[in-house]
Amino acid sequence: MSKVEPKIMSGFMELTPENQIKFNYMYDTIKNTYESFGFLPIDTPILEYSEILLAKAGGETEKQIYSFKKGDTYISMRFDLTVPLSRYVSQHMNDITFPFKRYQIGKVYRGERPQKGRFREFYQCDIDVIGNGELSIAYDAELPCIIYNVFKKFAFGEFVIKINNRKILNGFFSSLGLSEQVTDILRIVDKIDKIGAEIVKEELIKIGVSEEAADRILYFINIDGSNDEIINALKNLNIENEIFNKGVEEIEQVINYLRMFNIPENNFKIALSIARGLDYYTGTVYETNLVDYPELGSICSGGRYDNLTSYYSNQTMPGVGISIGLTRLFDQLMDNGLIEKIQTNSSIAQVLIVDADNSNFEYVSNVGNILRQNNIRTDIYYGDKQLKNKMKYANKLAIPYVLIIGETEKNESLVTIKDMVSGEQNLTTIEEAIKIINKK
Amino acid sequence: MSKVEPKIMSGFMELTPENQIKFNYMYDTIKNTYESFGFLPIDTPILEYSEILLAKAGGETEKQIYSFKKGDTYISMRFDLTVPLSRYVSQHMNDITFPFKRYQIGKVYRGERPQKGRFREFYQCDIDVIGNGELSIAYDAELPCIIYNVFKKFAFGEFVIKINNRKILNGFFSSLGLSEQVTDILRIVDKIDKIGAEIVKEELIKIGVSEEAADRILYFINIDGSNDEIINALKNLNIENEIFNKGVEEIEQVINYLRMFNIPENNFKIALSIARGLDYYTGTVYETNLVDYPELGSICSGGRYDNLTSYYSNQTMPGVGISIGLTRLFDQLMDNGLIEKIQTNSSIAQVLIVDADNSNFEYVSNVGNILRQNNIRTDIYYGDKQLKNKMKYANKLAIPYVLIIGETEKNESLVTIKDMVSGEQNLTTIEEAIKIINKK
């Protein structure tokens, strides 16, 4: 029979079990942290009616969406978890308790041109808080507090959550008479870390910004210092614009709340250059960077929006959300050798039991049952291979202990426990073996 | 703006957060049990090249597959987790440690005509053990042992894992000179529980089986009794067919292993009428039923196959696998009121903190931090609603305790803890509150 070459499409991540276990550890850490703040899980379909998913999309995003027709139905694959959340909240509005704190972790799809670091299938780990009509600004501080807790647990080194407020940006540009060009200006300004101030200025002038305004814009986005210094500098601009002042007030509140949450000051920072999803966010926006790995870009982003459900409902539902792009993050951690820092054995068997002379099945099974009753993940090697081969299996899978069971062990109701790291080997009781295994 | 009606496609399950928590509890129970037996996780893409996924498919299955073209690429959505496993093992053969014990839990897709109990998107929870060239029959017993542990934990009532062996069936029909018609005969015989013995006989005769052979077939599939009685009855048929005798030997071994695993005798039973995936399995086959809910059909099925990787590789890789269709199972449990038996609060906040007069943010946050450091899932209600509204939120979400914090509590570093079930309310220390919350 002719064979089909076994391969997957580019842009799709597939891991070895060893790395999958590390990935799952990160997944679980995120999930458990989200739950520890009272967020509730939902799980929406990956396939939805195209008219639902495309209600808002357009331009580049729409081109990337996997869409097809089955029978008479136009179907699309979700490309984020926010549009499905919007549909979910609109559909189930009467059954939901507000503020609705939901998390969803799942795969999303974008048919992008494959390139390093871009994925066509990737996990998003989203939390959002949705209010019915109104939503306290304290939630704008709770989300970075949660993200702080996640990355603290990961221990990939120093990180900083950058915070800005779209009202500050909108108000500032409005005060320069540039309201109509905000989107274009932000797109240019967003690139400052990549292309530098000079080219940003050139590009601003190219779209019709006066040289004076361009200088003010550059002065503005370069405002730096401690969080308090930045807030003072903003106030000292003496801009008489209601939106601007509202934004400064909000960012000051968020900073104060973060301090009351006890988040160390070096883990959050006002950064006036970040803008995020230009037509979407309306208040606080976030990005997160690993200090020693700036080349990773933002590993966690989000912000506040005025109305989640405008495409499907007449209710006004403000919300604030943040998302970790886990697949991309994991890929970058692999590239930078950082996943070695994930010391987890949360899914690997803690012990392998081997039958030394292939005639002690019943006793082997009993020992296995006892270990599992003691919550020890226990693999048993079946088959009449030589002992050597069975030890090799444990070694390859990095199982830390092997229990060797032969005639003697069976007759005396004992086990021989071998520490696969030290090589040490002892005849002992099952109870003692349990203690040794649990100690690691 | 005109609104799009928020709805999902039929055949897709979407749950309330309350039910999602129960679903996740089942998911986690299955995952943890699989891991407790040393199975390793993998996560393959949902989208694969059509030529990979369709290498084997055909007929009804192929018609149900979601396929589309993007650019020049023919893409399909996976319709099970076995074909991707086959591709994975073929592709990564040199990096895999055999026997390869893997689990995968994920969504699969079938564009079936929507009808009650049929899903187009559903979770499969698969475990398989793959051998390189050979695989001990002991694994054929380990899999039902794992399933026993899963359903024991679920406690949905009595269940029985039915076991048969395709070699017994093939050998038996071969001894009747009906080898060519095995597939058709099994298809008819498989329906005996639904249509009864009389109609089975009629249909057998209709496809050319002699009346005598039809009677022997009916006699054969009606062999019943204890496991030992069935094995003896099979031996007493005195069929001189190598395949048949090999099958009887295998089923006897599996039954003996199950006893040595200490699985209670009433949880497994030889059932000669079950056949499963007619062109796929080659040895042991399984189905699982809830004794009090026979109408649910098999809630967990699988079997032994001679070669997993024949479409992608020249290696011979025998395997044995079993799968729980979690989405369908959960749907049936909902229909039968059985999910009420799932008493889990594994994802709901254990406590809600409310700021009684909206002026104690810092102390509220501190208490929240302390509780979370003590591994208590803690929700905090922000916003200046009346206390009544905040209590309603806790009530609706079934959060068991509320900590009320006002001026007095803050000044004395205490909390008022309210038991939302009994209504009892006490002023106490944070330490004491932690003890009370942890007790539940």
Is residue B413 scored above 70 in pLDDT?
yes
B12 contact residues in A (CB cutoff 8 A): 45, 47
**Least CA distance to A348: which residue of chain B?**
B38
**Least CA distance to B131: which residue of chain A?**
A383
Identity of the residue numbered A337: G
CB contact under 8 A, B8 and A49: yes
Is residue A277 scored above 70 in pLDDT?
no
Partner residue opposite A48 with nearest CB, options B9, B36, B87: B9
The sign of the torsion formed by the CA atoms of A127, A194, A295, B46 equals positive
CB contact under 8 A, A3 and B349: no
**Least CA distance to A89: which residue of chain B?**
B6
Residue B215's contacts (CB-CB under 8 Å, 6 or more residues apart) are B201
Partner residue opposite B97 with nearest CB, options A23, A35, A396: A396
> B300: distance to nearest CA of chain A, Å?
22
CB contact under 8 A, B66 and A68: yes
A51 contact residues in B (CB cutoff 8 A): 4
> A301: distance to nearest CA of chain B, Å?
22
**Least CA distance to B25: which residue of chain A?**
A41
For B260-274, write each residue's pLDDT tens digit: 999 999 999 999 988
Mutant choice from B75, B97, B263, B327 vs A, greatest count of A C-beta within 10 A: B97
Is residue B38 scored above 70 in pLDDT?
yes
Is residue A340 scored above 90 in pLDDT?
no
CB contact under 8 A, A52 and B380: no
**Least CA distance to B92: which residue of chain A?**
A16
For A33-74, write each residue's pLDDT tens digit: 999 999 999 999 999 999 999 887 666 677 889 999 998 999
**Least CA distance to B21: which residue of chain A?**
A41
Looking at residue B2, the DSSP 8-state letter turns out to be: P
CB contact under 8 A, B42 and A136: no
CB contact under 8 A, A262 and B365: yes
User: Helix (H) and strand (E) counts for chain A?
Assistant: 17, 16
**Residue B154: which of B22, B268, B286 has the closest Cα?**
B22
CB contact under 8 A, B7 and A109: no
Q: With left for phi above 0 and alpha for psi between -120 and 50, is residue A225 left, alpha or beta?
A: left
B91 contact residues in A (CB cutoff 8 A): 6-8
Supply the pLDDT for residue A1. 58
Supply the pLDDT for residue A48. 97
Q: How many CB pairs under 8 A join A and B?
A: 254
SS3 B164: strand
For A367-404, write each residue's pLDDT tens digit: 999 999 999 999 999 998 899 999 999 999 999 999 99
**Residue B273: which of B187, B215, B175, B145 has the closest Cα?**
B187
| Model confidence band, residue A279 (pLDDT cutoffs 50, 70, 90) | confident
Partner residue opposite B43 with nearest CB, options A20, A71, A397: A20
**Least CA distance to B51: which residue of chain A?**
A4
The interface predicted TM-score (ipTM) is 0.94
* Cβ atoms within 10 Å of B113's Cβ, excluding its own: 10
For B299-334, write each residue's pLDDT tens digit: 999 999 999 988 899 899 999 999 999 999 999 999
**Least CA distance to A352: which residue of chain B?**
B38
Partner residue opposite B7 with nearest CB, options A91, A111, A369: A91
Supply the pLDDT for residue B189. 84
Is residue A220 scored above 80 in pLDDT?
yes
Supply the pLDDT for residue A57. 61
Supply the pLDDT for residue A115. 80
Average pLDDT over residues B85-95: 95
What Cα–Cα distance (Å) separates residue B49 from each residue in A268, B79, B257? 44, 13, 40
Burial B332-369 (b: 16+ CB within 10 A, else e): bbbeeebbeebeeeebbbbbbbbbbebebbebbbbbbb
Angle between helices B166-175 and B182-189 (to 10 degrees): 120
Supply the pLDDT for residue A26. 96
Is residue B390 scored above 90 in pLDDT?
yes
A369 contact residues in B (CB cutoff 8 A): 261-262
Mutant choice from B365, B373, B390 vs A, greatest count of A C-beta within 10 A: B365
Report how far residue B378's alpha carbon sits from residue B349's, in angstroms, rounded to the nearest whole number: 5
For B50-71, write each residue's pLDDT tens digit: 999 988 766 667 788 999 999 8
Average pLDDT over residues B107-116: 86
- Mean pLDDT is lowest, of A208-212, A307-311, B1-5, for B1-5
- Mean pLDDT is lowest, of A179-193, B53-67, B413-427, for B53-67
Mutant choice from A43, A142, A353 vs B, greatest count of B C-beta within 10 A: A43
CB contact under 8 A, A384 and B101: no
CB contact under 8 A, A111 and B361: no
Mutant choice from A4, A90, A389 vs B, greatest count of B C-beta within 10 A: A4
B404 class by beta-carbon count within 10 Å (0-12 exposed, 13-18 middle, 19+ buried): buried
B16 contact residues in A (CB cutoff 8 A): 92, 95
CB contact under 8 A, B21 and A12: no
Residue A39's contacts (CB-CB under 8 Å, 6 or more residues apart) are A101, A102, A103, A127
CA Rg value for chain A:
27
Supply the pLDDT for residue A385. 85
Supply the pLDDT for residue B278. 62
CB contact under 8 A, A43 and B66: no
CB contact under 8 A, B91 and A8: yes
CB B172 within 8 A of CB B239: yes
Mutant choice from A9, A19, A372 vs B, greatest count of B C-beta within 10 A: A9
What Cα–Cα distance (Å) separates residue A197 from each residue in A172, A203, A329, A369, B29? 18, 10, 28, 66, 55
Structure-block tokens of residue A355: 């039958």
* Cβ atoms within 10 Å of B95's Cβ, excluding its own: 10
CB contact under 8 A, B15 and A42: yes
CB contact under 8 A, A142 and B382: yes
Supply the pLDDT for residue B352. 97
CB contact under 8 A, B380 and A38: yes
A44 contact residues in B (CB cutoff 8 A): 8, 14
Mutant choice from B12, B18, B30, B47 vs A, greatest count of A C-beta within 10 A: B47
CB contact under 8 A, B44 and A9: no
- Mean pLDDT is lowest, of A298-307, B279-288, B335-344, for B335-344
A135 contact residues in B (CB cutoff 8 A): 383
What Cα–Cα distance (Å) separates residue A289 from each residue in A45, A115, A334, B122, B356? 31, 22, 16, 36, 37
Partner residue opposite B121 with nearest CB, options A47, A95, A314: A47
Structure-block tokens of residue A26: 């990160």
Mutant choice from A62, A382, A386, A403 vs B, greatest count of B C-beta within 10 A: A382
CB contact under 8 A, B384 and A136: yes
* Cβ atoms within 10 Å of B74's Cβ, excluding its own: 13
Mutant choice from B379, B381, B391 vs A, greatest count of A C-beta within 10 A: B379
Supply the pLDDT for residue A302. 96
- Please report which helix (H) or strand (E) contains residue B191, including its range: none
Average pLDDT, chain A: 93
Report how far residue B316's alpha carbon sits from residue B313's, in angstroms, rounded to the nearest whole number: 8
| Model confidence band, residue A286 (pLDDT cutoffs 50, 70, 90) | very high
What Cα–Cα distance (Å) separates residue B124 from each residue in A17, A72, A347, B301, B328? 18, 27, 19, 11, 9
Burial A420-437 (b: 16+ CB within 10 A, else e): beeeeeeebebeebbeeb
For B117-164, write each residue's pLDDT tens digit: 789 999 999 999 999 999 999 999 999 999 999 999 998 899 999 999
Partner residue opposite A261 with nearest CB, options B7, B23, B365: B365
B17 contact residues in A (CB cutoff 8 A): 40-42, 102
Structure-block tokens of residue A251: 């960012």
A311 contact residues in B (CB cutoff 8 A): 1, 3-4
A102 contact residues in B (CB cutoff 8 A): 17
Pairing mode, strands A40-41 and A100-109: parallel
